[in-house]
């Protein structure tokens, strides 16, 4: 079986991230720090030595903006996969990270794979959607190494389902903005790098703080 590599890239910091607002399906553009983060990530991908063949992005603007910056640096084409979209937060879209924490979004999602008091997607639904998208994309691009650009919550849930470890919410798979998580796929997926953002200089690391386990967008 041909070994394929997949790099998961969380989009750069957005206006909403900096304002500590929980955006799932809501749109928010990259801010200046987010753009610089992604530019640094593109150079880090070039330096890794992996020959990537194609970029697949979530349809949300912050992911597409990130994907285009990387594509320009690496000379790759982009396609869009709807199922890489961020989690649907339902009635809690746009509230603050602090409000998410006070309502128990993270802890209740960790305790219950089917938690959906917000009226959006449950961790189980998110994880199955993203896992299926990853596997489908591997089959669609046989023998190719892919860069998937998406979101913190969606990727964390999807990785938990893919690797079969722990709650579907996947708190241990959370990613910093513009971080790289890299996997190989042979008979079983193997993580080569998890939430790697060492390539970001100090001034490009997120400055805003948030309550523990607030992960959205």
* Rounded (5°) CA angle 133-31-27: 45
Does any domain span residue 61?
A: yes
- Chain segment 27-47, per-residue pLDDT in tens: 999 999 999 999 999 999 999
Residue 42 forms part of a structural domain: yes
Active site residue 128: no
Residue 32 CB-density burial (10 A; 0-12 exposed, 13-18 middle, 19+ buried): exposed
Q: 98 in a domain, yes or no?
A: yes
User: In which domain, by residue range, is 84 found?
Assistant: 4-204
Query: Does 213 fall in a domain?
Result: no
Say which CATH number the domain at 38 has. Answer: 3.40.50.1240
216 part of a folded domain:
no
Overall pTM > 0.85: yes
Going by pLDDT thresholds of 50, 70 and 90, the confidence category of residue 194 is very high
Q: Is residue 38 part of a domain?
A: yes
Kindly report the three-state secondary structure assignment for every residue of 31-73. Answer: CHHHHHHHHHHHHHHHHCCCCCCEEEECCCHHHHHHHHHHHHH
214 in a structural domain: no
Q: Is there a domain that residue 215 lies in?
A: no
pLDDT digits (tens, 9 = 90+) for 86-138: 999 999 999 999 999 999 999 999 999 999 999 999 999 999 999 999 999 99
Is residue 11 annotated as a catalytic residue, yes or no? yes
Total domains present in the chain:
1
- Annotated active-site residue in 11, 118, 151, 199: 11
Catalytic, out of 86, 93, 121, 182: 86
């Amino acid at each position: 079986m041909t070994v394929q590599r997949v790099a998961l890239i969380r989009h750069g910091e957005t206006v909403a991230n900096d304002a500590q607002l929980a955006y799932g399906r809501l749109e928010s553009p990259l801010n200046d720090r987010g753009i610089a983060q992604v530019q640094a990530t593109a150079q880090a991908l070039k330096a890794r030595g992996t020959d990537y063949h194609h970029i697949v992005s979530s349809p949300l603007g912050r992911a597409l903006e990130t994907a285009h910056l990387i594509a320009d640096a690496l000379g790759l084409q982009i396609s869009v996969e709807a199922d890489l979209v961020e989690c649907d937060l339902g009635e809690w879209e746009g509230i603050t990270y602090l409000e998410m924490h006070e309502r128990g979004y993270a802890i209740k999602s960790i305790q219950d794979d089917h938690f959906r008091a917000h009226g959006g997607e449950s961790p189980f639904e998110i994880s199955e959607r993203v896992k299926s998208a990853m596997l489908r994309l591997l089959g669609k691009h046989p023998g190719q190494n892919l860069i998937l650009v998406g979101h913190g919550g969606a990727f964390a849930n999807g990785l938990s389902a893919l690797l079969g470890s722990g709650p579907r919410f996947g708190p241990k798979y959370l990613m910093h903005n513009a971080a790289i998580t890299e996997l190989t796929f042979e008979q079983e997926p193997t993580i080569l790098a998890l939430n790697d953002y060492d390539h970001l200089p100090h001034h490009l690391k997120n400055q805003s703080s948030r309550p523990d386990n607030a992960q959205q967008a």
